[in-house]
Structure 1
Amino acid sequence: MRLSGILRIVAIIFTLMTTWFFTHTYFKSAGKTIRIRGFLDFSSKITSEKHSRNKCDNSKKCEKDFFAFKITSGAANVVGPSICFEDNILMSGVKNNIGRGLNIVLVDGVTGVVKQQKYFDMFSGDINTLLEFLKEIPESSLVLVASFDDPGSKLNPEARKLLTDLGSTHAQNIGFRDSWVFLGAKGMKGKSPFEEFLKNTPDQNKYDGWPEALRIEGCIPRKII
């Protein structure tokens, strides 16, 4: 047998012994071999922790009889708004159902069933379509609103009052290219705690001609009246 053949056999034997030694050492700890059941339990724990996220990826978990939501306004006229309710993205650029102006979702405040989702152009659209929509909102409905590009140019006193009656604090002030996110309810008494508003201020805007995007998230109890 040639020397090269002998060396090849020795190399194979060395590789097998090294592999056996590594495997024997790696799967032992203090003389105890890891058992399949323990490994599966560990894997199950990792999987559980990985999936223990809150609805809508919110920072807080909502208790029973509370709905989870997250509303994000548009960023300038480039990135569209997003509205999530009970872990379902109802409006977003990916779903291709958003538009310039006010993006609104109506949800039954008792059952959590989504009733409508529409957007209204507040720059060149017809304000009467928004007025009709707001006047026909059923009692005990949750109203989720996200601005995009320009939410205020077409708003008139009647529209502002209808939005104020839903619990908005800032509806009277919304203007050209302002950022606004809001959750209110038909028949709500008092002002909603879920609202953020940022004025279009040229020397303070984050974007060229627009303020930064806004976001609100939280837990809303069933039936706010």
Structure 2
Amino acid sequence: MRLSGLLRFLALIFAVVSTWLFIREYINFNIKTLRLPRWIGSAHKNSSQLVKTKCGLSKSCPDNFFAFKIVSGAANVVGPTMCFEDQMIMSPVKNNVGRGLNIVLVDGTKGAVLTQKSFDMYSGDASLLEKFLKEISGDMLVLVASYDDPGTKMTEEIRKLFSTLGSAHAEQLGFRDSWVFLGAQNLQSKSPFEQFLKNNPETNKYDGWPELLELEGCVPRKV
């Protein structure tokens, strides 16, 4: 009797301890479960605080500056894109780009888009481009992106007109070169917003074309 009583007592102690351990783990699990949504909500709140920049720039532009991003075409397959103040002006998705030179004119004071045009240098658009460039006034910003071949039939007059807008590379632009540029009239020096890549079979990324170029930045508002 004494042995059986001792065994029953030990069994009771074991049951009590096991029950207590189970209850403790259950309570801890439920506390963690209840706290999980709060943690998720906190993470969502932190992610929502991330600053969205205009045109997807790496950083926001200061006051009195316009944000822009220009991407040249990739070979003769993917057309260029041009974004200004978070407005996608030209892109393959909008189906408003063409081979040659794609140009956007923007009001340099208000930031409003004035016009957008594509000039195919193969089909005799050189004369149209020359007339277009001569009509650019001093309060305009000029955004340019190449696609396929921007320079085969470019005249010396067109090269000079781009140079007066601040381009340092228009004079040497040639067959299937990549070029992105933002300029304006009456600059005291060459524009800091320009990239140029020569068509070179030894360094071309694509078969017959150099790689695409990306240009982004903050251009000061004209006052």
Partner of residue 6, structure 1: none
Q: Which residue of 1 aligns with 2:49?
A: 48
Query: Which residue in the other structure is 1:71 paired with?
Result: 70
1:141 equivalenced with 2:166 (yes/no): no
Partner of 1:176: 175
SS in 2 for 1:213: coil
Question: Quick one: which amino acid aligns to residue 155 of structure 1?
Answer: M
Identity %, equivalent residues:
57
Structure 1, unpaired ranges of 5+ = 1-20
Residue 80 of structure 2 is matched in structure 1 by 81
Opposite residue 187 of structure 1, the aligned amino acid is: N
Aligned to 1:161: 160
Q: Residues of 2 paired with 1:24 and 1:125: CA distance?
A: 80
Distance 1:85 1:38, change over 3 A: same
| Higher share of residues assigned helix | 2
Looking at structure 1, the residues matched to 30 and 169 of structure 2 have their Cα atoms a distance apart, in angstroms, of 63
Superposition CA RMSD, Å: 2.4
C-alpha separation in 1, matches of 2:209 and 2:179: 12
Task: List aligned pairs for 1:1-225, cutoff 5 A.
Answer: 25-26=28-29, 28=31, 34=35, 43-49=44-50, 52-223=51-222
Aligned 8 A contact 1:140 1:187 in 2: no
In the superposition, the TM-score normalised over structure 1's length comes to: 0.81
What CA distance in whole angstroms lies between the structure 1 residues aligned with 2:218 and 2:96? 24
Unaligned runs of at least 5 residues, structure 2? 1-23
CA spacing shift, 1:144–1:34, aligned 2, 3 Å: same
Amino acid at match of 1:127: A
Q: 1:23: how far off?
A: 8.6
SS of the equivalent of 1:182 reads: strand
